[in-house]
Amino acid sequence: MSKWRVLIFLLCVFSITVLFKENDQRRILQKFNLPLDTDPFACGKCLTENDTWFLQRINQSVKPFLSPNHNLSEDTFNWWKLLQKEKRNFSHYKETVDMLFQIFPSIPDVIESRPQKYESCAVVGNSANLIRSHYGPLIDFHDVVIRINAGQTKGYETDVGNKTTHRIMYPESATDLDNTTHLVLFPFKIQDLEWLISALTTGFSGKWYLPIKSKIKANKNLVMVMNPAFMKYVHDAWLENKGNYPSTGFMALLLALHICDEVHVFGYGADKDGNWSHYWEKLKDTNLKTGMHPGIEEYQTIEKLAQKMKLTFYRGL
């Protein structure tokens, strides 16, 4: 008899949880003036759809993250080493990767270790068009919230939320993390891999064109490193080799397409005045553009993905 009581109790708890979630979703729909019969978290990404443009670009065989089982070709290494004029050879790269997986998980906490992809992901860019957007609650509602580089939350919660499950960074943009946030390193040179090893152990003493944090706080068990082959794939297949290489923001978005069932994109593109600036910074240079990154082509690709319902794009103000 006691087992039946426990079962009934668990069913009641489940029903109450579902009810609260539905009420939360209804409240968010009303807040953003969406029809109540619309589900902003419904999957709009169907990989089996007969879409030539999309299928010519997407390649699920390219593994997003480094692991001991994913060998990098020397040709891809030679492309990658030119991004920031890496002078060391392929053997040194392989030795560094071997050292990396003596410290960090050999199987990234995504896809390979899960029966399914992440369900619902918000990718939060750093565009100033997030200011006064009031997207915060909508962003935090997602299962996974991916933030990029130095994207801040404190003081901006109303517009950008405060939940972070994955923080994308490279050494020059590194920030401390709590014990539950994944550190996702986008490496552009061998020194970036060396920095990751040292910054979470003995401390890093190298130098580059910008100051680099010697040590950072992060959970070593939640570290993931982007595969340079994935970076090249994004540049070749999605940007058709435009620009020197993709921006971290664009690579983060394509990463989400590969690891999430649903992708919701916030904070990309120029502000209402056409400036490419960050929401937490006061704009000083009104001629600021996207530099070596093909910003216009990236934005147009995001719009096309949204048009084809492969993701949901919230353009901001």
Residues involved in catalysis: 245, 293
Of 186, 137, 170, nearest in space to 31 by CA: 137
Q: Which token pair is 6?
A: 């426990």
Taking residue 85's Cβ as centre, other Cβ atoms within 10 Å add up to: 7
Of 108, 72, 79, nearest in space to 93 by CA: 72
Element (H, E) at 258: helix 248-259
- The answer to whether 273 touches 316, Cβ cutoff 8 Å, is no
Q: Which token pair is 205?
A: 């003493």
Of 280, 284, 239, 227, nearest in space to 73 by CA: 227
> Distance between CA atoms of 306 and 259, rounded to whole angstroms?
17
How large is the C-alpha radius of gyration of the chain?
Answer: 21
Known binding site for substrate: residues? 84, 126, 149, 209, 245, 249, 269, 278, 293
CA angle in degrees (0–180, nearest 5) for 14-18-20: 115
Which residues touch 222 (CB under 8 Å, ≥6 apart)? 109, 180, 181, 182, 183
**Coil, strand, or helix at residue 133?**
coil
